[in-house]
Amino acid sequence: MGEEPNDARPRDEQPKLDLSKPGPGGEPPAASGETVRIRPGGGATGPAAGTPATPRDAVPADAVPRDAVPADAVPRDAVPADAPPRDAVPADPRSGEAAPPAAVPPQTAPQPTPTGSFRLPAPAPWEAPGQNGGSAGAAASSGAEGASGAGASGFGPPSGAEGSPGAGGPGFGPSSGAGGAPDAGGSGFGPSAGGFGAGFGGGGTYGQGYGQAPGTAPGWAGAGTLPPPPSAPPAFGPGGGGGQGESRPLQAVAVGLLNLSCLGLGYVLLRQWIWAAVCWAATAALLLLALPADADGVPAGVLAGYGAVLLAAAADGARRGLRARLSVGDAARRLVLPLAVVLLAVPAGGAVAYGAARDEAREEAFQQSLLARLGTADALVKAKEGTRFDLAESDYATALDTYEKLALDHPDSRAGKLVPERLDAYVTSVSKPYADKKYCEAVDPLKHLRSLPDTVDAKVLGDRADGFDEPLAQSLYECGAGELGREATKPAHEAFTELASTFPDSPYVGKAGKLVGDGLRKAAAPLSDGSASDPCATTEEVRTRRSDVAALQGYELGGPVADAARAIQKGVFSCGTKQFRDEEYSDAVKTMDRYAKDYPDSPQTAHARTISIAAQIADHEPAAGKKLPPATVPGGSRMPMVVSNDGKDSVELLYTGPVTGKITLRGCGTCTNYGGIREAVDPDAKPCGGPSSKYPKATLQLPAGTYYFLQRRSGGLSSAGETKDSKAVIEPGYTYTNCLYVTSNF
């Protein structure tokens, strides 16, 4: 390989190649940037040769294989005779000290081909900066100002000092050699191997170019193919902040996971502030909707929407982070992925905490619903306090059922634990009439409380139904006594009957019996002593009370009942006489007839009958009722009165005066009615004109005085039940006759 003098040129001046000097293999070297044409005979001409150009991929017949190395080939790292040694340490303009000899690693020479191109060596394996002192390419590309570097140019800035071109042909960036000194080698596609963005030249640190430049050889003008770029280094190794375009899967995963933390931290790491703000806004909106946690939780649509936003942010963050360059140091870069994984605890912990808060809210809502049911039952009990039990019984039953269900179904709930207290309040409310001494009103509530063991579970009720026997017995007694004092004997006796049947051994039973007997005697006393202002009404009242008292079971009331019966007998007679005096003759007749029937053995029965007869006569002749018939028969002489019946039907004759009585005469079989047809046939016929022996007759012995008669005949041609009243005065020393007959218009 030919050598070029290491003389300084301007950076933009292209090197000139002496075409008179054949290169290796007999081919003249070509200057950088010129086209080399290959003759079939193996000679090379420049653009001024004037001969037809041969295609670059044409292979002459005498060509050797592309990977054959010419015998006279010079190694790529050969140094011109007048060039300083490769391992010379250039002066550092900043420190004035020489670089260490190991800074320039040896390089492998490219292999020329028969066509004038070179086979490039395979790229050196990637080596992270800072390990083993850095890569060989990096050491070779760093030289002091004025020293020439060895290697090809790449895409980045030169690795040598400013003003020193690299030791190779010009590429797409400045050369990597020292300022003013051309690098020994062919031209490349970018800056030399050093720093970020190195070209396809020699190997460099992570973040350098995409390959190695072609080897330095005279006549190489970029012919041939480029080697494939090296595989991307890991994202989070040392020196992982390479240029845009490198694939970093771990970095993408880390950014996506950071965005899953609900805080948009992946976008913050990428400095995508707008998208980070979108994540913040979504999280803030979710918190506003979700907090404070309630029993219903967050709507499913909101959760689905927020989950979609998180997944979209994670996917977008991973996409953006795959090839992004992070502006953080190596140490911080190593912590991103672990931090992203750790921060996943934020949404997970938030979900767990929110779930716990929601469960707590649901439990609180459930407890409140139970307390509301308890409150409704309490309100029913309170509202019906003091109301008649028959009107409040249904509401009381509803409240009691609520208490029982709360205690049995939810014993550990706040409402369930309050049930015993509420049951005590229930008992107090229901028994309030008894506490207020409203004994008749307290009877039904107390009976209800005593019956609770039949309807309420014993575990819920406890012993609250005990101890109501005495209050109920007292209430029954006091209620009966109160009603008896108001002359309401029937309600009183009902209370006393229930008392004796429910609590037969209660002392209140004896008290009730004495009270009832004394009450009956007291009621009958006006009849017994004749002081009743209205004996008729009093008699009926005592009669009713006596019947009620006699019907009481469980009481010894024989004495009071017998006393009342005697009083009633006197009351009936007194009632009849009063009715007679009050000219209530029809009522007097009924009363006295009833008396005579009910008390046939009474010494007043005969008198009652006379009063009844006198009342019947007085009902037709009021004058007969001006005086009550005497209870005893007067003495003295009596005058006979013969009464005959000149009628074919029987006749009843009632009389009253100094004595009162009644006789009945049978009918005369041969007698006919007078007047009408008989008078036309026998005008001389006179009533009672026949022999006296043919008439039924009776004789009355009457003391002197005025008498009123009433005859009542039945059957015959006369109207049924026909009556006729008359008056007669009986004087001493006379005998009287009275013939009864019937007249008719027929």
Does a structural domain hold residue 352?
A: no
Are 485 and 503 in contact by the 8 Å Cβ rule? The answer is: no
Let me know if residue 493 belongs to a domain: yes
Identify the pLDDT of residue 111. Answer: 47
Same domain, 80 and 215: yes
Angle, CA 639 vertex, CA 636 and CA 640 arms, to 5°? 140
Please report which helix (H) or strand (E) contains residue 699, including its range: strand 697-703
CB 124 within 8 A of CB 160: no
CA distance 151 to 258: 42
Q: 157 and 39 in one domain?
A: yes
What are the Cα distances from residue 533, in Å, to 446, 527, 574? 42, 9, 10
- Among 402, 435, 467, where does a domain finish? 467
574 and 681 fall within a common domain: no
- Tell me which residues of the chain have a pLDDT lower than 70: 1-245, 676-685, 715-721, 745-746
CB of 258 closer than 8 Å to CB of 343: yes
Question: What is the CA 221 to chain-centroid distance, rounded?
Answer: 87
Residue 519: per-residue pLDDT: 87
How many independent structural domains does the chain possess?
A: 6
Residues 544 and 592 in one domain: no
CA–CA separation, 34 and 239 (whole Å): 38
Rounded to whole angstroms, what are the CA distances from 324 to 75, 229, 251, 428? 40, 19, 9, 80
Is residue 260 domain-shared with residue 380, that is, in the same domain?
no
Between CA 223 and CA 233, with CA 227 as vertex, the angle to 5 degrees is 150
Residue with structure tokens 């995508």? 272
Q: Write down the pLDDT at residue 229.
A: 55
Is 133 in the same domain as 193? yes
Is residue 349 situated within a structural domain?
A: no
**DSSP-derived secondary structure letter, 413:** S
β-strand pairing of 722-730 with 651-656: unpaired
Same domain, residue pair 598 and 680: no
Give the whole-angstrom CA distance, residue 13 versus residue 517: 152
415 within a domain of the structure (yes/no): yes
| Containing structural domain, residue 327 | 249-343
User: Is 242 a member of any domain?
Assistant: no
Note whether 335 and 423 are same-domain residues: no
φ, ψ (nearest 5 deg) of residue 139: -65, -40
Angle at which helices 558-581 and 585-598 pack, to 10 degrees?
150
Query: Do residue 58 and residue 175 come from a single domain?
Result: yes
Residues 62 and 55: their CA atoms lie apart, in Å, by 16
Buried-exposed string 589-604: b where 16+ CB fall within 10 A, e elsewhere: bebbbebbeebeebeb
**Does residue 353 sit within a domain?**
no
- 424 and 504 share a domain? no
Residues paired with residue 150 on neighbouring β-strands, in sequence order: 167
Residues recorded for the chain: 746
595 and 675 together in one domain: no
Supply 200's token pair: 């396809």
Which residue blocks in 201-344 are alpha helix, DSSP H?
249-259, 265-270, 273-290, 300-321, 330-343
Judge if the upstream peptide bond of residue 114 is cis by omega within 30 degrees of 0: no
List b or e across 397-420, with b for residues whose CB sees 16 or more CB atoms inside 10 angstroms: eebbebbbbbbeebeebebbebbe
Asked if residue 501 is part of any domain, the answer here is yes
CA 85 to chain centre: 93
Integer Cα distance of 109 and 212 in angstroms? 12
Rounded to 5 degrees, what are φ and ψ at 708?
-120, 130
Query: pTM of the predicted model, to two decimals?
Result: 0.50
Domain boundary at 434, 467, 500, which? 467
**In this predicted structure, what is the pLDDT of residue 156?**
37
pLDDT at position 715, please?
57
Closest Cα partner for 106 from 73, 149, 77, 83?
77
Any domain includes 145: yes
The structure tokens listed for 693 are 């022996």
Are 293 and 154 in a shared domain? no
